[in-house]
Amino acid sequence: MSVGLCGAALAAALAAPAAHAAPGERHGTAWTPTDTGTDARFRGLAAVSTRTAWLAGSKGTVLRTTDGGRHWRDVSPPGAAGAGLEFRDIEAFDARRAVALAIGEGEASQVWRTDDGGATWTESFRNTDARAFYDCLTFFDSRHGLAMSDPVDGRFRILSTADGGRSWNVLPSAGMPEAQPGEAGFAASGQCLVSSGPKDVWLATGGAAAARVLHSGDRGLTWAATDSPIPAGDPARGVFGLAFHDRGHGIAVGGDYRASQPSPRASAVTSDGGRGWQPSRTPPAAYRSGVAWLPHSRSAALTVGPTGTDLTTDGGRTWRTIDTGSYDTVDCTPDGSCWAAGEKGRAARAVRPDTP
């Protein structure tokens, strides 16, 4: 199957109702659950291929599968559970190399790296500034990456690596616009900082008067901020997740994470790299925290949240619910699969019909 048909075939499989479903019933149609053997909440997910994926979550938990989710191996850093580490993001280059971010105030924010599939880990960064709180990380390639912290001295703080996460340096703040009062990132899905290509990176915010998306075209040295149409004005509201399939076309999702509150205009799209955002004509029906483009597709994407999964086939302009299970984050792979993870140890996979 050509790469051009890969995303379309997966989208069709996701959208098709399950054979056992009653008319109009959508529950459980999109994902094939896998047994992780834990009740940790996984907000960090790195999908490498149809067979290999990494999960990072609460209680210092990191898991890895190399057989499509049939078995998950606990590869947590030693002592991470006892230290109370909360892993919220993980980026993996293959089945052996991964970088995980633990979040929290002060020294609770840490970065860990493994080169041997999680058999051993090295702590490569520990935050010593009590004012900083790191939320997300992203990599442009296997060497260059960034991590972001909530504002310090009125500006978001950016951490940079040029050696695959082995060492990190705080970038100068001169090129970062001033933060709004109360503005912050959401460590909800590992997607508040995302990249596409060798130099472009976007940062999602909320909690302030406007929910913004900041863009840098030079690996985090200088940034430009743009208001999004996703509602903010409250610490629980804003943009929670971003996905770009190239340097121009992107999707933002979010809303209000409180279950008792509605989330109108919970998604938006851009075709100019984030300089302008338009609200989706038919947004997801509720708050969504994670979003991912389907493999090799310029039009199909998934978004997930506690109340379900939605599919778009028109670049994020309209969405429809295809599953009602709870997931916090989603990621797709070049070889034709998507993975999702969330609360109570939940992890699942979706693949093209012709995938073994």
pLDDT in tens, 233-275: 999 999 999 999 999 999 999 999 999 999 999 999 999 999 9
pLDDT band at 11 (very low <50, low <70, confident <90, very high): confident
Between CA 168 and CA 147 the distance in angstroms is 9
CA atoms within 13 A on the CB side of 89: 28
pLDDT at 21: 40
Q: Dihedral angle at the C-alpha atoms of 137, 296, 7, 73, nearest 10 degrees?
A: -40
Between CA 66 and CA 48 the distance in angstroms is 9
pLDDT band at 311 (very low <50, low <70, confident <90, very high): very high
Between CA 122 and CA 261 the distance in angstroms is 41
pTM of the entire structure? Answer: 0.93
Between CA 26 and CA 322 the distance in angstroms is 6
pLDDT at 12: 77
pLDDT band at 29 (very low <50, low <70, confident <90, very high): low
Between CA 327 and CA 312 the distance in angstroms is 17
pLDDT band at 356 (very low <50, low <70, confident <90, very high): low
pLDDT at 200: 98
Average pLDDT over residues 319-334: 96
Between CA 218 and CA 229 the distance in angstroms is 25
Q: Residue 24 contacts by C-beta under 8 Å, 6 or more apart in sequence?
A: none
Q: Is residue 27 predicted with pLDDT exceeding 70?
A: no
Average pLDDT over residues 60-74: 98
pLDDT at 28: 43
